[in-house]
Amino acid sequence: MKLVLKNKPKRCNRVARNVSQKLRNSGGSMFGNACQRGYFAHNKSPLQFYSDRLHLIRSKKGFICDMDGVVYRGNSLVNGVHSFMEWIKDTDKNLLFLTNTSSASQASLQQKLMKMGLEVPKDWFYTSSIATAQFLSIQKPNCTAYVIGESCLVNDLEESGIIITDSNPDYVVVGEKEYYSRNMINLAVNLVRQGAKLIGTNGDYYDPVEYGAIVPSCGAWVSVIEKATGINAYFVGKPNPIMVRGALKILNMHSHDVAFIGDRMETDILSGVEAALDTVLVLSGVSKMSDIDGEQSNKFGWMPMLVLNSVGDLAPDEYNQIRDPYCREY
């Protein structure tokens, strides 16, 4: 599959500041107390430890990459994405964008990236909408469902043989939607009370957008139905490892050959860990260094293999000499 980089920035003398350079300048202090407290059991210097793990991740044959907070925030690319994508293209690595969004089709995600200067094949996108349709078609072929979500979720379900109805459905499926109405939620509540199983495309309570703001997401709206009915939803999207396993099937690759790149400890990194993938946390989205190396660092019982400022730091230094004037730094 051909990857085209549009609006490709010219090389310039100013080298992008990346994690490896910061480590060289700081003697490895970027790891801070995490190394000092022995979160990573090793007998090497922080710089050598970082270099070894970076080399291991770079040697992977494929990558599963989250989108929001990793590739873009809002309508702006995260700095370093062009470097990463050019490295992927030059080294013939496999890449699949995996996103918890259920409100965008593969075609619309393709167009979104194209407007920001990246042109990638449509089948490089795997959404929670597609994963939910696949899950239900396996669980109960030709089942029925009442759906709260955008047209792409309805289309994915129908293409998988699921019949959309509000009359005694087998499932109530809730995805992301620009406008939720009280009538929709009321109907969903009563259908669940009457016996329909409650399915959420993803459990994210909020999504990051530009300038550090957030917006409520699917999990926040599903929680209203859960509270009203006393029934817990089953979420197909991350951190459910079933979605990562679906991505591995699409790539036709084994878990030890693939790394997972994400910006959320509680979804991306957890789903990667539970699917036995090596994981990379980037600090360009939701989770911050303080989440794993601060006073509240004990709230997660799992850790990423590697922490980077952005996905661009995965590319070798010669690629990070490329800076995109259209990207926004976070």
Alpha-carbon distance of 42 to 65, in angstroms, equals 27
How much of the chain is in helix, strand and coil states, percent to nearest 5? Answer: 40, 20, 40
**Residues forming beta bridges with residue 144, ordered by sequence position:** 163
- Residue 257, both tokens: 């050959």
Measured between alpha carbons, how far is residue 29 from residues 77, 217, 271, 284 in Å? 28, 36, 28, 19
Percentage of the chain exceeding pLDDT 70: 81
**For residue 3, what pLDDT is reported?**
56
Alpha-carbon distance of 271 to 128, in angstroms, equals 13
- Residue 152, both tokens: 């792409």
Residue 14 DSSP class:
S
Alpha-carbon distance of 239 to 247, in angstroms, equals 13
Torsion of CA 215, 216, 217, 222, to 10 degrees: -170
Q: pLDDT tens for residues 287-323?
A: 988 888 867 667 889 999 999 999 999 999 888 655 4
Q: Is residue 324 predicted with pLDDT exceeding 50?
A: no
**For residue 49, what pLDDT is reported?**
81
Measured between alpha carbons, how far is residue 240 from residues 86, 127, 203, 269, 323 in Å? 30, 13, 9, 11, 35
**For residue 296, what pLDDT is reported?**
66
- Please choose, from the candidates 12, 5, 22, the residue with its C-alpha nearest in 3D space to the C-alpha of residue 323: 12
Neighbours of 69 (CB within 10 A): 22
Is 66 part of the annotated catalytic residue set? yes
Q: Is residue 204 predicted with pLDDT exceeding 90?
A: no
Q: Which of 52, 68, 291, 324 is catalytic?
A: 68
Alpha-carbon distance of 179 to 181, in angstroms, equals 7
Q: pLDDT tens for residues 11-65?
A: 333 333 444 454 444 444 344 444 444 444 456 677 888 889 999 999 999 999 9
Q: Where are the beta strands (DSSP E) in 21-107?
A: 62-65, 72-73, 76-77, 94-99
Q: Decide: 264 and 69 in contact? Cβ < 8 Å.
A: yes
**Residues forming beta bridges with residue 98, ordered by sequence position:** 126
Alpha-carbon distance of 254 to 276, in angstroms, equals 10
**For residue 42, what pLDDT is reported?**
54
Q: Which of 52, 66, 166, 313 is catalytic?
A: 66
Q: pLDDT tens for residues 236-255?
A: 999 999 999 999 999 999 99
Is 68 part of the annotated catalytic residue set? yes
Q: 155-164, 186-195, 214-223: which has the minimum mean pLDDT?
A: 214-223
**Residues forming beta bridges with residue 173, ordered by sequence position:** 147, 199
- Please choose, from the candidates 43, 51, 44, the residue with its C-alpha nearest in 3D space to the C-alpha of residue 23: 51
Burial class (CB in 10 A: 0-12, 13-18, 19+), 211: exposed
Amino acid at position 24, single letter: R
Percentage of the chain exceeding pLDDT 90: 68
Q: pLDDT tens for residues 74-93?
A: 888 999 999 999 999 999 99
Backbone angles phi, psi at 280, to 5 degrees: -125, 120
- With cut-offs at 50, 70 and 90, classify the pLDDT of residue 129: very high
- With cut-offs at 50, 70 and 90, classify the pLDDT of residue 206: confident
Q: Decide: 181 and 161 in contact? Cβ < 8 Å.
A: no
Q: pLDDT tens for residues 181-196?
A: 999 999 999 999 999 9
Q: Is residue 8 predicted with pLDDT exceeding 70?
A: no
- Residue 249, both tokens: 């099937």
- Residue 153, both tokens: 């979720």
- Please choose, from the candidates 178, 176, 209, 156, the residue with its C-alpha nearest in 3D space to the C-alpha of residue 328: 209
Mean of the per-residue pLDDT values for the chain? 85
Hey, is 260 helix, strand or coil? strand
Q: Mention every residue, 6+ apart, whose C-beta is less than 8 A from residue 302.
A: 265, 269, 270, 273
